[in-house]
Structure 1
Amino acid sequence: MSVRPTHEALLALFLLCSAGCAGEAADALVVFGLTTDMAVGFQFDHIETTTKVDGVVTGTERLSYGGGELSLPAELVVGPAPDGAEIELSIAAFRDGEASPIVTRRGATRAAGGRSLLLPISLDEACCATPCAASATCAAGACVEPFIAPSALTDHDPLWIASASDACKTPGSGDPAVVIGQGESAFASLEHGEVVPIEAGPQGGHHVWLALRVTGLRQMGSRLTVEGYFPEMEFELLPFTAQVTMHKAGEDRCEIDGVRFQVDRGLPVEAVRGQPLDIEVALEDPNGDVAMAAQRVVISP
């Protein structure tokens, strides 16, 4: 299971100014709304960004999933900049250990005095195998002009993130739902009342390996809560909570595997062997959407 430190939906705020803007009334901003339909941390691991104002590089940044710096969707803000200045963002997404990016994207516009413009820019899986000329960029599998006139852009509204495209929360994924399965490294189905093995953990205690199949929730930043209750002993286990990242497992669903849930916290392990255990899980994504599920298992004797 990939567990990340708590972080907000906004990835970073870059306040960059071109060399010629000192002393001028430069209150224009361009907010690049960065999204992807690929699974961050699985299909790519880090991005490298370059910002330019009127052709001059004003900043570069490397943001890594493993370092806890990369979470999408996100905002990258360039400005303040003088009215009419050309603002450009270039992004390259990499897998760890590979020198060539798996996908690149560029976006550009002109600063409009007094406005904060929102320029959507996506890293699309369909662009991974789509080469484009140097003057073009790839979007949704097609080569397009990277420049968009400011008159064609809307003003920035931070609520855009709530409806942004996502690797797991797609138009076809339907309402939030979760299915409880089992598995340390892959999802396997779990029947009601199925006998499940337990194993000793590295820091004491014994646990079962759970896996979850999820639809309708965002790939990153969902809060997972797992609870357990032994009905025959009338004993409630302490809940487990974590922030999780899912991986794609089909067109409209994602999965989490390797969820370790301790079953003998506060009990001797011999007392739980052969006992039925009612497991409940809840997943809440950064938008506030929630999926819940329950399953009964029997601890292996």
Structure 2
Amino acid sequence: MTVPRAPGALLAMLVLCAAGCASGCASEDADALVVVGLTTDMAVGFELDRVESTTKVDGVIARVESRSYGGGELSLPAELAVGPAHDGAEIALTVAAFRGREASPVVTRRAATRAVGGRTLLLPVSLDEACSAASCAASATCAEGACVDPFIAPSALADHDPAWLASARDACKTPSAGLPAIVVGQGERAFAPLEDGEVVPIEAGPQGGHHVWLALRVEGLRQMGSRLTVGGRFPELAFELLPFTSQITLRKAGDAGCEIYGIRFQVDRGLPVESVRGRALDVEIALEDPDGDVATAAQRVVISP
């Protein structure tokens, strides 16, 4: 199977530690934490490929990080943990998102707050497509297409709860997406519709075997980290093809939601290729995202004689 490269490991946490006494903290009162909830409505791996972040505590650079999708390090939404810091410490964050090898960021976002002793604050930071063409004054930052003050008072922030990730903004799992659903199509380099019972060609793979190219249109599931399972059955032969699983990354497809193409499904695993030519094949597909939401679909195709 060939699919757009998925991250080698999900980015559950980027640990950005404050710079100890250089930031003015004292060990006896360094009990304040801030967790940055980083989200985007852009497709990671397609519209942005790299995120660079700089964190300051009381004006002192505490950590500089660079995470790339190509390196298997970047998955969004993600958490950036800052601390421990002393009560009242100013936490300031700058995040820049880059596409491909472009030198200029697609979006730059700044955010700031103050740490509060005894609390772990959740500071939401979004990288918004609507901000890609925005220009704000030096004292402002862009959020959801508008120029706003980067500072958010700690009294306006909720305490951190990891459950926020399940409802975080996403390039594919949007509020308007509705229930999880997938439509089975075909195509190696683009999505093309596939009618039930349609005759599909097969081709020889580079490592032996013969395969069809499948594609999916997807709604209501996360853009990154969903687990794809593809199986099939030849009813006339009473033969089940062993399913395979893969972690995938979806791309946005405009008003059509999100999609993936180039799914290579071998149709002669355990069978002579001549025995499957002209036969009906019932393809079964399941897609489960990191939140546990699942969509399934079945499609009958006929292998080209």
TM over 0.5: same fold? yes
Q: Pick closer, same or farther for the CA change 1:274–1:41 going to 2, 3 Å.
A: same
- Indicate which of 8, 26, 29 corresponds to 1:25: 29
Residue matched to 1:16? 18
- Indicate which of 155, 171, 176 corresponds to 1:172: 176
Contact 2:217 / 2:256 at 8 angstroms: preserved in 1? Answer: no
Residue matched to 1:68? 72
Distance, in Å, in 2 between the alignment partners of 1:11 and 1:67 is: 16
Distance, in Å, in 1 between the alignment partners of 2:48 and 2:196 is: 36
Distance, in Å, in 1 between the alignment partners of 2:6 and 2:132 is: 26
Question: CA RMSD, aligned part only?
Answer: 1.2
1:287 aligns with 2:287: no
Tell me how far 1:7 sits from its aligned partner.
Answer: 3.6
1:143 counterpart letter in structure 2: C
Distance, in Å, in 1 between the alignment partners of 2:77 and 2:37 is: 7
Contact 1:31 / 1:116 at 8 angstroms: preserved in 2? Answer: yes
Distance, in Å, in 2 between the alignment partners of 1:105 and 1:125 is: 11
2:235 counterpart letter in structure 1: P
Q: Pick closer, same or farther for the CA change 1:134–1:116 going to 2, 3 Å.
A: same
TM score, norm. by length of structure 1: 0.97
Unaligned runs of 5+ in 1: none
Distance, in Å, in 2 between the alignment partners of 1:69 and 1:6 is: 7
1:130 aligns with 2:131: no
Distance, in Å, in 2 between the alignment partners of 1:228 and 1:148 is: 52
Contact 1:33 / 1:74 at 8 angstroms: preserved in 2? Answer: yes
Tell me how far 1:135 sits from its aligned partner.
Answer: 1.1
Tell me how far 1:3 sits from its aligned partner.
Answer: 4.1
Residue matched to 1:117? 121
Residue matched to 2:245? 241
- CA deviation map 1:262-292 (0-9, x unaligned): 0011111111111110000000000100000
Hey, which bits of structure 1, 4+ residues long, moved more than 3 A? 5-9
1:215 aligns with 2:219: yes
Distance, in Å, in 2 between the alignment partners of 1:270 and 1:12 is: 52
Give the SS at the match of 1:159: helix
Residue matched to 1:2? 4
1:56 aligns with 2:57: no
Residue matched to 1:140? 144
Distance, in Å, in 2 between the alignment partners of 1:58 and 1:66 is: 25
- CA deviation map 1:89-117 (0-9, x unaligned): 10000012110001010110001001000
Residue matched to 1:89? 93
- CA deviation map 1:218-274 (0-9, x unaligned): 000000000010000011001011000000012461001100000011111111111
1:287 counterpart letter in structure 2: D
Give the SS at the match of 2:195: coil
Unaligned runs of 5+ in 2: none
Contact 1:7 / 1:221 at 8 angstroms: preserved in 2? Answer: no
Tell me how far 1:10 sits from its aligned partner.
Answer: 1.6
2:243 counterpart letter in structure 1: P
Contact 1:3 / 1:242 at 8 angstroms: preserved in 2? Answer: no
Distance, in Å, in 2 between the alignment partners of 1:252 and 1:183 is: 16
Contact 2:36 / 2:122 at 8 angstroms: preserved in 1? Answer: yes
Residue matched to 1:163? 167
Distance, in Å, in 2 between the alignment partners of 1:17 and 1:11 is: 18
Instruction: Name the stretch that deviates more: 250-259 or 13-22.
Output: 13-22
2:12 counterpart letter in structure 1: L
Give the SS at the match of 1:237: strand
- Indicate which of 70, 90, 106 corresponds to 1:102: 106
- Indicate which of 261, 265, 274 corresponds to 2:265: 261
